[in-house]
């Protein structure tokens, strides 16, 4: 008689891997958006906020590629420069982008409501907190200390220029797991507000949780969200939540403040033998 044995993790969640802009700091994810708008304006190419947000979550050079691949932006670039954007153009744009982004990051280091309380609760439960980002290390060297001053200080930070490739590849998640000393991957939860965040977590074999209200998909500040009518807020929230679920998110919540109760749900599912894959 033949048997096939299958090990199934039944323990609790040991770590969460959080995104930065739009998830834990920078409500609405405005820092990259503002800089991309200025960057392309300097190139005599007009882009919209939707264009600027189109690659959010990716390593910023890949983000640039995504913007330039949009048909209206490609046409505008062709009209302004007489040719399609080349890799040399992308390199030049990225070189100009980095100091512009560095100069404004501290303005967008304020924690999103619920962030500090959620981290405290996770630590109380002996859950470690890692992080991944689309920002390269030189950017995080400015953003992270300011965020720490404001009360947010994760246990681990991994940037896309420290691994072979950024999102949607899982390498930053793997590096977090190694640095935190946490395994198996089913014991980790990836949390973020962009579609690449969700794909990153799924590719890493982790539970993936999307944030629908505070991030890039809605792209509104906290004050702007509060100014919406209840019907308007529900409509935009439903739209972004649908996109996150369609990307494969296991759960979608309004903001990081709802994460502890989702950890409880995930722990319950794990105890019944469920896996994120």
Q: Which residues are catalytic?
A: 19, 60
Phi-psi region of 157 (alpha: psi -120 to 50; beta: other; left: phi over 0): beta
Nearest to 139 by CA among 166, 171, 173: 166
Residue ranges of alpha helices (H) inside 150-253 are 171-180, 195-203, 222-227, 230-246
* N-to-C CA span, the chain: 29
CB neighbours (10 Å) of residue 254?
Answer: 16
Question: Cα dihedral angle (114, 117, 120, 125), rounded to 10 degrees?
Answer: -80
Please check whether residue 129 is in contact with residue 154, taking contact to mean a CB–CB distance below 8 angstroms. Answer: yes
Please check whether residue 185 is in contact with residue 179, taking contact to mean a CB–CB distance below 8 angstroms. Answer: no
Nearest to 17 by CA among 212, 179, 244: 179
d(CA 275, CA 186): 7
Which residue is listed with tokens 């973020």? Answer: 192
| Backbone phi and psi for residue 140, each to the nearest 5 degrees, phi listed first | -65, -25
Structure tokens at 110: 């304020």
């Amino acid at each position: 008689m033949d048997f096939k044995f299958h090990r199934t993790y039944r323990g609790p969640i040991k770590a969460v891997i959080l995104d930065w802009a739009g998830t834990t700091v920078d409500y609405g994810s405005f820092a990259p958006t503002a800089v991309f708008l200025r960057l392309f304006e300097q190139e005599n190419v007009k882009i919209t906020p939707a264009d600027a947000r189109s690659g959010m979550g990716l390593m910023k050079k890949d983000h640039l590629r995504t913007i330039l691949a949009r048909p209206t932006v490609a046409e505008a670039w062709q009209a302004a420069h007489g040719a399609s954007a080349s890799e040399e153009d992308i390199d030049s744009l990225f070189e100009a982008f980095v100091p512009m982004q560095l100069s404004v990051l501290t303005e967008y280091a304020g924690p999103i409501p619920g962030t500090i309380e959620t981290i405290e609760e996770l630590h109380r439960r002996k859950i470690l907190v890692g992080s991944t980002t689309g920002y390269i290390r030189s950017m995080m060297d400015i953003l992270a200390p300011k965020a720490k001053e404001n009360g947010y200080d994760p246990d681990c930070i991994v940037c896309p220029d420290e691994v072979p490739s950024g999102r949607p590849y899982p390498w930053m998640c793997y590096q977090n797991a190694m640095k935190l000393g946490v395994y198996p991957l089913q014991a980790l939860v990836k949390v973020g507000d962009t579609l690449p965040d969700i794909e990153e977590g799924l590719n890493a074999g982790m539970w993936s949780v999307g944030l629908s209200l505070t991030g890039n998909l809605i792209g509104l500040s906290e004050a702007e969200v509060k100014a919406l009518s209840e019907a308007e807020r529900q409509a935009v929230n439903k739209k972004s939540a649908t996109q996150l679920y369609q990307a494969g998110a296991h759960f979608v919540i309004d903001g990081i403040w709802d994460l502890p109760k989702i950890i409880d749900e995930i722990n319950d599912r794990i105890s019944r033998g469920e896996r994120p894959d």
